[in-house]
Amino acid sequence: SVLAMIASFSSRESVRERFSVGLVRAGRYMPMIRDVFRKAGLPTDLAYVAMIESSFKTRARSRARAQGVWQFIAPTGRRYGLRSTRIVDERSDPVKATEAAAGYFRDLYELFGDWYLAMAAYDSGEGRVARAIARTGSDNYWELCRLGALPKETRLYVPSVIAAALIDKNQEHYGFRVDPEPPVEFETATLSKPIDLRRLAGACGV
């Protein structure tokens, strides 16, 4: 299944083009994501979940109203400290959303004790994965896939993440050669009062 996803990403022209654009955009955020995950004691290759979720688009929004690089739905985002109101949606903040994703992955791993199952639960929800384990008696992701106990999307999800990691780390072998964008550089400032964003943009020339 991993080889099938590699073939899909690297041979189908339209998919290949979108995948290449995602690899380019990954340069903006991948160093930050790896750093957050490393500090949280998580496997840094979980960063490729963001590639499958959003192609690293901060404004990505799904039909299920999931938002941002990590595609949090509002309730899950709130559970991990992300505000989502009419005024501000922190699911689109790549740093805060990555910290929330780290917390969620840590909890999923504590629940299932397996990173493949943690990724599957990230995709389809921990309840669905727990019910599949209870129904089949198996706590092996690949066996759950073989038994058809997980949704089709989730059966493709983990292989897609693994395929993305393999391609990015061996680009020329799979026929890719992209120059990632440089990491986003920023400073954080705490304001003592509200400020008009148009005046701020004018002052900064952005």
Q: With a cut of 90, say whether residue 112 has pLDDT above it.
A: yes
Provide the whole-model pTM.
0.92
CA angle 26, 17, 52 (to 5 degrees): 45
Q: With a cut of 90, say whether residue 110 has pLDDT above it.
A: yes
Write down the pLDDT at residue 205: 93
pLDDT-based confidence at 14, cuts 50/70/90?
Answer: confident
Q: Compute how many other C-beta atoms are within 10 angstroms of the C-beta atom of residue 100.
A: 24
Q: How far apart are CA 125 and CA 102, in angstroms?
A: 16
Residue 51 CA neighbour count, 13 Å, CB half: 29
4-25 in b/e form (b: 16+ CB < 10 A) is ebbebbbeeeeebeebbebbeb
% of residues, the chain, pLDDT over 90: 90
Give the type of residue at 13: E
pLDDT in tens, 149-197: 999 999 999 999 999 999 999 999 999 999 999 999 988 889 999 999 9
pLDDT in tens, 24-52: 999 999 999 999 999 999 999 999 999 99
Q: How far apart are CA 180 and CA 182, in angstroms?
A: 6
Q: Which of 17, 53, 110, 126 is catalytic?
A: 53
Please give the mean pLDDT across all residues of the chain: 95
Active site residue 126: no
Write down the pLDDT at residue 189: 87
